[in-house]
């Protein structure tokens, strides 16, 4: 790692001030950033650790019935504390990485990084979540802008994520057997006014909604409604772990499985 300083602000305001320094970089749980630093793929002068900010941690339900999760909340905490409110989301959190990673990695860090194979972006997009930052609220549909790209500005911090709670939901992940990241992951969420389907791991454009499947499932929420439906392999990721056609095929399979298992 290149040398850098670490600051540990205890409030959002102090963190924002610290991030205004040249080449400052926010450090959430560090489960992606620290390996990145070790490979010398980033060279910040200052890391601003967000783990000391109590006001961005925690899980609760607000008066509007939304599940509110602080940006600094670890996957392990979401797995435990969201289960009574939004079991599909808790189940997703419970299968990110491994237990030790889940005790450090945070939802805000995952959404800010927007890894094309990360799990949380699929949940945020399929739930129609709202991402709150220190300056504004961003709808999930506007937030994700392609692989490792989001609507966040320099120095903007994800402080909270608000999830509408679906009637039923399920996340199905086909794990890349070595990294255990999603080779393809599909989050299906059934709301009173329709179904949303979000896909991670598959596309060169990052997480996306499969609108054709959404339309079919909104009129008939069953795996058979997806019979014969397939995605174009044109924009799919192709690498040593799977071809574009394989990923496109997996999206349909995982979607059907998610619909069948949704609860």
Which residues partner with 149 through β-bridges?
A: none
Site for other proteins in 110-169 (CB under 8 A): none
Residue 241 in contact with other proteins, rule: CB under 8 A: no
User: Closest approach of Cβ 2 to other proteins, in Å?
Assistant: 7
Residue 99 in contact with other proteins, rule: CB under 8 A: yes
Stretch that binds other proteins, among 23-31, 110-118, 122-130, 253-261 (CB under 8 A): 23-31
Distance CA 55, CA 251 (A): 37
User: Closest approach of Cβ 255 to other proteins, in Å?
Assistant: 24
β-strands 24-27, 46-49 pairing: parallel
The residue (of 2 and 234) whose beta carbon lies closer to other proteins is: 2
Handedness of CA 221, 223, 226, 227 (dihedral sign): negative
Candidates 13, 20, 23, 38: give the one binding other proteins (CB under 8 A).
Answer: 38
User: Cα dihedral angle (174, 261, 131, 148), rounded to 10 degrees?
Assistant: 10
Contact 210, 255 (CB under 8 A): yes
Contact 24, 45 (CB under 8 A): yes
Stretch that binds other proteins, among 13-21, 44-52, 132-140, 164-172 (CB under 8 A): 44-52
β-strands 182-191, 168-175 pairing: antiparallel
User: Closest approach of Cβ 71 to other proteins, in Å?
Assistant: 16
Number of H helices, E strands in the chain: 10, 12
The residue (of 64 and 178) whose beta carbon lies closer to other proteins is: 178
DSSP string, 123-180: HHHHHT-EEEESS-EEEHHHHB-STT-BSPPTT--EEEEEEPPPSEEEEEEEE-TTT-
Per-residue contact flags (x/-) with other proteins for residues 68 to 97, judged by CB under 8 A: --------x--------------------x
The residue (of 5 and 141) whose beta carbon lies closer to other proteins is: 5
Size of the site for other proteins (CB under 8 A): 27
Residue 226 in contact with other proteins, rule: CB under 8 A: no
Distance CA 64, CA 193 (A): 17
Residue 8 in contact with other proteins, rule: CB under 8 A: yes
Residue 36 in contact with other proteins, rule: CB under 8 A: no
Residue ranges binding other proteins (CB under 8 A): 1-6, 8, 27, 30-31, 34-35, 37-38, 47, 49, 51-52, 76, 97-101, 103-104, 180
């Amino acid at each position: 790692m290149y040398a850098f300083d670490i600051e540990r602000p205890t409030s959002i305001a102090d963190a924002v001030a610290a991030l205004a320094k040249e080449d400052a970089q926010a450090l959430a749980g560090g489960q992606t950033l620290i390996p990145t630093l070790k490979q010398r793929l980033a060279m910040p002068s200052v890391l601003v650790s967000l783990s000391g900010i109590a006001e961005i941690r925690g899980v609760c339900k607000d008066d509007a019935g939304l599940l509110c999760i602080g940006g600094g909340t670890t996957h392990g905490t979401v797995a435990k504390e969201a289960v009574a409110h939004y079991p599909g989301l808790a189940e997703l959190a419970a299968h990110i990485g491994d237990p030790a990673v889940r005790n450090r990695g945070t939802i805000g860090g995952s959404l800010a990084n927007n890894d094309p194979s990360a799990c949380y972006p699929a949940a945020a997009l399929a739930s129609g979540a709202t991402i709150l930052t220190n300056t504004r609220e961003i709808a999930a549909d506007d937030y994700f802008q392609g692989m490792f790209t989001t609507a966040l500005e320099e120095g903007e911090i994800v402080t909270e994520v608000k999830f509408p709670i679906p009637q039923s939901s399920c996340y199905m992940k086909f794990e890349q057997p070595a990294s255990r990241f999603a080779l393809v992951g599909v989050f299906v969420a059934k709301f009173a006014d329709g179904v949303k389907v979000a896909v991670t791991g598959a596309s060169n454009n990052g997480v996306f909604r499969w609108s054709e499947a959404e339309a079919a499932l909104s009129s008939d929420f069953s795996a058979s409604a997806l019979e014969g439906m397939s995605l174009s392999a044109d924009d799919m990721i192709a690498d040593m772990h799977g071809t574009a056609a394989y990923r496109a095929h997996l999206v349909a399979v995982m979607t059907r499985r998610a619909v069948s298992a949704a609860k």
